[in-house]
Chain A
């Protein structure tokens, strides 16, 4: 128990970029990550990419998890990755969840997205997927 509380934590920013207001997925994943022992910062709705970068910097997170239900994942990730580099956050892992067609996954990975969790991915898969990012 002590180890659970004191040990190294994974800090995750769960962010909702853009105007889309469907946050149920983001919120339940946040709860699942908390139950898996991670420290989760939830950004709230209607975030600009600048706000996300700002938050990720101040909160020194290990992972930025974008929840995108609007279909705009490709342009959003493309932009954010450039901004992350400029802000010196290239060592942060970017992961994406939400409404993501399978055929877009390779493109996202190529851009630099570390993992993609399309809607329907189980909590277990998400938690393992995130933890695996640090097993290198």
Chain B
């Protein structure tokens, strides 16, 4: 099913339609951080903790698609082999397929599927925590940002404005020098954060031997409870739905527009002017919107509502 979604197969959308009403019960955790910090190893151990409380767990592990070849090697599974034959653990590797934020729309849809299938906890693992629509915090209820001592990753992430999106900051490989320093730096910066109801915390772990993982699992679960109790979960889910819907709209609209523009000679004229630097891109863009695209929008508004709405955009003569 997830495969159909990845391939943009129309069957997928019908299936999604039928599943959609059933989704919304799972607790969705996002784990993000630079390559090599130990995300997969942490998740491997987290799964074990969650399984102890008999939660069923699904994992979506996202790896980057090569921009040159379009292919990818999806190797996060390797670190999660402990659960190879556990029926209540589902691990799915996905390629980012061009999404700069590291999570494709297909991944988001996959979450819906897994949620509807009844997994209690869904973990999404990705690289990068940027601001694009599909980055982890727009899908996850609770986001963990992983860094390691000696690098400034955690600090960079925090400085880059990820402050609002990180709920739990994890310093992995904390047996290495500098772990305490990193921890203190993070703690200090987070303290300056705006008053979210949930106070983000910093935890130390040594994923490969399991140190700190029990506590980490407990923190995620208590975050879950906390949000449920204070109606924050509902608010977050609402926000996610809105964001998702908006981004879908943006996506579809852009897709159609681009397609249409490729066939428009006026558009090509303007583009050539931009390329030869006759006009600057800003004016050119405004021109395109005003003279080529907008007329349709205005046209649509004055005419009767067509049943297909956005699905048809005609080329103006």
Contact = CB atoms under 8 A, between A and B. Distances in A.
Contacts of A5: 65, 67, 70, 97-98
B85 A59 contact: no
Interface stretch (A31-39, A65-73, A79-87, A97-105): A31-39
A31 B69 CA distance: 11
Interface string A83-117: 00000000000000000000000000000000000
Interface residues of B, number: 28
- The size bracket of the interface on A is 20 to 34
Contacts, number: 81
Given A36-B69, A60-B3, A41 B74 contact: yes
A8 B91 CA distance: 21
Nearest to B95: A39
Interface in B69-128: 69-75, 77-78, 81, 84-85, 90-93, 95, 97-98
Q: 6 tightest A-B contacts by CB?
A: A4-B70, A34-B71, A60-B3, A5-B98, A37-B70, A37-B71
Given A4-B70, A8-B7, A38-B71, 7 more contacts: A4-B69, A6-B8, A30-B73, A31-B73, A35-B68, A35-B71, A58-B90
11 contacts: A11-B3, A31-B73, A35-B69, A35-B71, A39-B95, A42-B75, A43-B78, A44-B77, A44-B78, A55-B84, A58-B92
Interface of A: 1-2, 4-9, 11, 30-31, 33-44, 50-51, 54-55, 58-60
Interface of B: 2-3, 6-8, 65-75, 77-78, 81, 84-85, 90-93, 95, 97-98
